[in-house]
A and B are shown apart, each in its own frame.
Chain A
Amino acid sequence: MSPGIAGMGWVTPLGRGVEEVWNRLTREDEATAQIVSGQEGTKSYQAFLVPDDTLKNLPPHPRLRRASAISRFAAAAGLDAIAQAKAINLNIDPEKLGLVFAASNGGVAYTKRFYHDIVRSGAQSASPLLFPETVFNAPASHLAAILGVNGASYTVVGDGAVGILAIKMASELLETGTVDHCLVVAAEEADWILCDAYHKWRLVKSSPPVEPFCDPPHGTILSEGAGAVLLGDEGKVKVAAINAGGNFSHQRKAFQIVEQIVQGLGQNADIVASANGTFVDLAERDAIKKVAAESLVYSPKPALGESVGAGALWQVIIAAHALEKKRFPPLLHFDRKAGLRFPTGAEEVRPEVIVSSCGLNQQAAGLRLSH
């Protein structure tokens, strides 16, 4: 059984809602980087942040009153996906609705605040209100409470590929009949500590643009937000195949895994890549050149930044929407010497699109959507 995408929700630095963000991407808009500062005297970074007014119409649910940004992003995207499905008269029974939430860094802002108090003032000053929000599954718990999900709810964590793994898990829950619909939500929040860590890891650059497929890579810009897809029998766009991929022990070996994934998913498809200005780009470039040289290759990351745990879901949303619109948005800031076919916005997308997700910490996976 190939599950269909019955609804989608999208919270990004370019706004909220699939049509709104899509329209901005097709207009070649890119998010505006904002200064992210740490404590006094430390280095500042730039990141693509979700604008404050993006979540203004979130329902006033008690669970969201003190919730972290990541939980609020997840709730907004998840509720939008459900609303989109209900708008086409889809009947969603909460008793048979599963939830799979994916993240990489989780509620890092509250975690930092909680630990900051311990470091600065000692354990006795630790906040019992903050601690529960630091757990990885807090966003899933809030969303489950809002939606009335009382059965299967899983939080999966990993690197950028985790969104694909979440869809894989959801598709298996559907396949075994555990649930009738499964909402997959992936979210991430940006924070100074993450920018600093990824900078020290030599993955983040000081300012935009994110230049995909440059050799050597110049680095990425972190971003935040959420993506959600509601999977079920319904929906014109189907998840035709998922390759849960594998792991690479060194960055230089990422190419082999990506090659296997793209090859396994089929060569007669266009590709939404995870290229983000890091080593990932070279792995994807070489793999695509070798096994899918004719494919049109798009990456949303120059426009939206690297949202890590949410990144693969954003790619899936773009792939699904591209199949419906038969076009990719134009790719921004790419390296013409990369030797790949990049969209200008005019080319017709084939009826199948592969999402390739190569993470920054050893995981890679992919899937193929069809229309």
Chain B
Amino acid sequence: MLSFNASDGTNTKTRVAVVAAGIVSPLGFGLQDTLGSLRKATDCVSPVSRFDVSRCRCKTAAQIPDDRLIRSGQKGRKKARLHRASHMMIAALAELFEVDSSFQPEVTIIGTTSGGMSYGEDYYRAVQQHANLRRSPEWIANYPPQKPVLDAQHEFGISAPCFVIANACASGTNAIGRAFECVRSGKYNRVLTGGYDAISELVFVGFDSLQAATPEKCRPFDRDRTGMVLGEGAAVLALENFESAVKRRATILGEIVGYGISTDNHHLTQPDPSGTGPKRAMEQALRSAGYVAGQVDYINAHGTATPFNDAAEGKAISELFGEVPVSSTKSMIGHSLGAAGAIEAVICLLALQSQFLPPNINFRAPDSGFPLNIVANESRDSKIETALSNSFGFGGTNASVLLRKVAA
């Protein structure tokens, strides 16, 4: 096993390379589109058109247009039955294989929260309204959360066992973290990981009913923040034993060096205000990497813009990291739930590769409760070697992954 020396020189575990990635989000289709939109600080939030939101407080979300999502190559009778989430996973995986066509995972670990939920909604509505149930078998068959992952695997001839993690909004980061642990343990050489979620009425109304979704702009970490907006998308990452990747001359986009997970038992939907849950996850990610807080150059925060989340996370970040630049890219793309951690990990990879800090848009005034160095409103060029990505979710689940740049 290849060893590396972090600052304290203690970490001698297998290195984990990211050899390919794919992404579909409101920022665009693919890594280049995404990078361009991040650089331009694009606000992707728009009025919701997929279902009726007239009786909701919040009426906006960051959405992916169907006309681009369903690729010409994906048309056909069988493909037409697939859920939008399957198309997202297929599109993300297609890009990953464009980057590294020879990547064959031994196992797949993907995060989601709601699977093909809108098909469940279609089915229930049809039952309630005694409507035509001709399409019900396809709704039912394509509703389960593993289905979009299996659809994408079948599309590319992958038969790897598939673990679908549903740890609410931390699912994507938990999936990447587990995949990282699998490769780092030496038990697996190649693991496909990531996350997906497609917007649905049930989930949208759910967050609206909790008054967690805002009728205003999404302003993470702002003094006057009023809540989140929802988003959707999919991102996948190909993780490989670093030594093996070097040996086969794979392009290495970056490296995952640490992962932390903690459970906060304070409340089903609210974090402990002290921020101890997020803090433990971040500390564990540092510890597993053999890093100290001062070595982190950028934090892509969970930053939902809800009063509770940002206060707890902000407190934890400021106590642990002080002045490190922080942004929540959810300000641009909304909260894509199970996809968020995966999309944000890919954003961190892009930031590390292109040496910039992605922006936290709609930011007006800092919150005096937690002093943070927010990357406010515009992206910034910056020399960064390491980036931490946070995801926290319902159920008190907290996850952090630490990524680093690989020398050219």
Contacts and interface: CB of A to CB of B under 8 A. Distances in A.
B263 A131 contact: no
Given A118-B201, A120-B128, A201-B141, A159 B146 contact: yes
B289 to A, nearest CB: 15
Interface in B351-399: 393-397
A156 B124 contact: no
Contacts of B182: 172
Interface string A105-122: 010000110111011101
A140 B396 CA distance: 10
Q: Which 5 A-B pairs have the closest CB atoms?
A: A141-B395, A244-B161, A136-B166, A131-B206, A145-B265
Interface residues of B, number: 67
Q: Which of B133, B166, B205 has the most CB of A within 10 A?
A: B166
Contact of A157 (B164, B187, B394, B396): B164
B178 A169 contact: yes
A361 interface: yes
B263 A157 contact: no
Q: Which of A144, A168, A175 has the most CB of B within 10 A?
A: A144
Interface stretch (A2-10, A245-253, A348-356): A245-253
Contacts of A156: 163-166
Contacts of B264: 150
14 contacts: A115-B120, A115-B121, A120-B128, A123-B52, A126-B208, A132-B269, A132-B394, A134-B202, A141-B395, A142-B268, A144-B396, A169-B178, A361-B147, A363-B150
Contact of B124 (A135, A193, A202): A193
A246 B161 contact: yes
A126 B206 contact: yes
A116 B167 contact: no
Contacts of A29: none
Interface residues of A, number: 69
Contacts, number: 193
Interface of A: 38-39, 42, 63, 99, 104, 106, 111-112, 114-116, 118-120, 122-124, 126-128, 131-138, 140-142, 144-145, 148-159, 165, 168-169, 172, 175-176, 178, 193, 196-198, 200-202, 244-247, 249, 361-363, 365
A176 B166 contact: no
B107 interface: yes
A256 to B, nearest CB: 10
Interface of B: 52-53, 55-56, 107, 112-113, 115, 120-121, 123-125, 127-129, 133, 136-137, 140-141, 144-147, 150, 153-154, 159-168, 174, 178, 181-182, 185, 187, 201-202, 205-211, 261-265, 268-269, 277, 280, 393-397
Nearest to A122: B55
B219 to A, nearest CB: 22
Contact of A247 (B115, B129, B159): B159
B397 A141 contact: yes
Given A115-B121, A150-B262, A151-B262, A123 B205 contact: yes
